[in-house]
A = this chain, B = another copy of it.
Amino acid sequence: MAVPVDALMLDPTAQGTLQSRIQQMVAQGILSGRFRRGEKLPSSRKLAAHLGVSRITVTLAYNELLANDYLTSRGRSGYFVSENAPDPPAFADREAAPDRIDWDRAIGQRFTGGASPAKPLDWQSYTYSFIYGQTDPTLFDHTNWRQCAMQALGVRNFAAMTADYYDRDDPELVQFVLRHTLPRRGIMAQPEQVLITLGAQNALWLAAQVLLTPGRRAAIEDPSYFALRDILRQTRADVVPVPVDAGGLPPDLIPDDTQVVFVTPSHHCPTSATMPLDRRRALLERAGALDALIVEDDYEFEMAFLHPPAPALKSLDDEGRVIHVGSFSKSLFPGLRLGYLVGSARFIDEARALRASVLRHPPGLIQRTAAQFLSLGHYDALIRRMAREYDARRRVMEAAIAEHGLTIAGTAAHGGSSFWMRAPDGVDAEVLARDLARRDVLIEPGATFFAEAPRPIEFYRIAYSSIPADRIPEGIARIAQAIAARQ
């Protein structure tokens, strides 16, 4: 790779003659690792024109660098970074630039230090990864996704897809969601009632920002998705955790004056509890009595291989009270970042304006590729394949869990991709997870899902979305051994 001429810029604050400043500039580029061994430098003519200096000055600087073995010349083909040039330091080793800002004062709002735990980025290097929310690349329909991306990248789609959409979405994706995805959940909606988001996370964030203000009251499930608690903390609303039972959120425990209820009826996060139909009706009734809105996070409804999923809460709502959040990330792949919000047009208008201000729109290429993949039926086929495989893995999990006498604390009526587990009293799942990581096993400690201290320490979650079936028995055996060792 050649060093482009405009990668070379004289430091206006540097001292010394022009020639020495040019030498320094090149040498620093090499020493810092920006210009690498064997890379070609701009010709002296080109660099002189770029810097606005005489060519002889550049030639003299280059000759000096040749003499010092920073550069070599290959006759007429020009100057190259020498193979004997000094080693650049590893990037991370260089010292950070000095900083004279009092960041404690300068930072107006703090977002670090929230409830979301640090997640293992290297989960793929573990043999027994029971980590939730990552998918198995071997299950994915890579060939057809690639084909659809090629289609979306084709000349016909390209212009439409690469333009600035301002605050709009890809109409093809919106139409698919309206005609196919939502009807499966029993939801009929109009285009102005749908907003494409950067995953379910983004949808929940937008809904919280539009609906909550300091002083308003929101009810959440306890335990609940930790990232949701971070989102709600930003609104400075009064957030009330409501303990869930085997049927999810009990409607009569929602406190008075609640204005927004956040709920996961299909699979409660993290216990996987499925809310029965009569409780869904009772929840809508309670919300009606409070004149509250409900934000329904309908994640993972596709993974229903034991029983068909219950209709979404939104499908039972004839008052516009439910805001529905869905996602393609769980079923396609999490790095996709594609989800949607469904709600009354007035609400969607505000969420759309906020999204436009925060990020404009999800990238067109991603939207169009997903629209192609969905409309050609590949998505349905993928879901069926995943459901079959998850079903098989789940049975292996159940057998292994039973064999080793581990305790299931929660499981989804329809299927899902994880079990909510409970270790014996006094065994701290956080410590257990650390023990297990050293034994090549990843599990997710559960304390972080609980809203308030003292948090139960014994719960943990194990998922089977990214672990092949044949590794499950050994992985579960290791969990059992680690628990036994801690008792």
Bound together, the chains give a CA A486 to CA B308 distance in angstroms of 66
A363 touches B350 (CB 8 A): no
A211 touches B121 (CB 8 A): no
- Measured CB to CB, the closest approach of chain B to A327, in angstroms, equals 11
- Measured CB to CB, the closest approach of chain B to A151, in angstroms, equals 11
Contact of A283 with B by CB under 8 A: no
**Cβ–Cβ < 8 Å partners of A86 in chain B:** none
Bound together, the chains give a CA A52 to CA B98 distance in angstroms of 69
Bound together, the chains give a CA A231 to CA B234 distance in angstroms of 16
Contact of A389 with B by CB under 8 A: no
**Cβ–Cβ < 8 Å partners of A366 in chain B:** 363, 365-366
Most buried by B among A7, A108, A201: A108
Among A181-189, A264-272, A403-411, which stretch is in contact with chain B? A181-189
Contact of A12 among B6, B185, B316, B354 (CB under 8 A): B316
**Cβ–Cβ < 8 Å partners of A453 in chain B:** none
Bound together, the chains give a CA A344 to CA B103 distance in angstroms of 9
**Cβ–Cβ < 8 Å partners of A321 in chain B:** 100-101
Contact of A455 with B by CB under 8 A: no
**Cβ–Cβ < 8 Å partners of A201 in chain B:** 357-360
B94 touches A190 (CB 8 A): yes
Bound together, the chains give a CA A370 to CA B265 distance in angstroms of 39
Interface residue total, chain A, C-beta cutoff 8 A: 134
Residue of B nearest to A145 (CB): B153
**Cβ–Cβ < 8 Å partners of A347 in chain B:** 103, 106-107
Task: Knowing A9-B311, A29-B183 are in contact, say whether A210-B111 is a contact too (CB < 8 A).
Answer: yes
Contact of A425 with B by CB under 8 A: no
Bound together, the chains give a CA A403 to CA B183 distance in angstroms of 60
Contact of A484 with B by CB under 8 A: no
B112 touches A349 (CB 8 A): yes
A 84-113 contacts with B by CB, 8 A: 91-92, 94, 96-103, 106-113
Bound together, the chains give a CA A237 to CA B160 distance in angstroms of 37
B316 touches A13 (CB 8 A): yes
Residue of B nearest to A93 (CB): B190
A112 touches B202 (CB 8 A): no
A335 touches B163 (CB 8 A): yes
A 376-395 contacts with B by CB, 8 A: 377, 380
Contact of A55 with B by CB under 8 A: no
Task: Knowing A101-B293, A230-B357 are in contact, say whether A9-B320 is a contact too (CB < 8 A).
Answer: no
B184 touches A7 (CB 8 A): yes
Contact of A361 with B by CB under 8 A: yes
Residue of B nearest to A131 (CB): B164
- Measured CB to CB, the closest approach of chain B to A436, in angstroms, equals 20
Contact of A162 with B by CB under 8 A: yes
A353 touches B198 (CB 8 A): no
Residue of B nearest to A116 (CB): B356
A234 touches B357 (CB 8 A): yes
Contact of A124 among B159, B198, B356 (CB under 8 A): B159
Nearest 10 pairs between A and B by C-beta?
A99-B320, A164-B334, A335-B364, A162-B333, A111-B353, A103-B346, A108-B213, A100-B319, A198-B359, A111-B354
Extra pairs beyond A2-B377, A108-B213 (6, CB < 8 Å)? A6-B309, A9-B184, A12-B277, A97-B190, A121-B165, A145-B153
In the complex, 30 of the A-B residue pairs with CB atoms within 8 angstroms, ordered by the A residue number, are: A4-B380, A7-B183, A9-B183, A34-B183, A52-B308, A96-B190, A97-B190, A98-B318, A98-B320, A100-B321, A106-B293, A111-B353, A111-B357, A112-B350, A116-B356, A119-B164, A124-B159, A137-B159, A142-B153, A162-B336, A163-B335, A164-B329, A198-B198, A198-B360, A201-B358, A201-B359, A202-B360, A227-B356, A337-B360, A362-B363
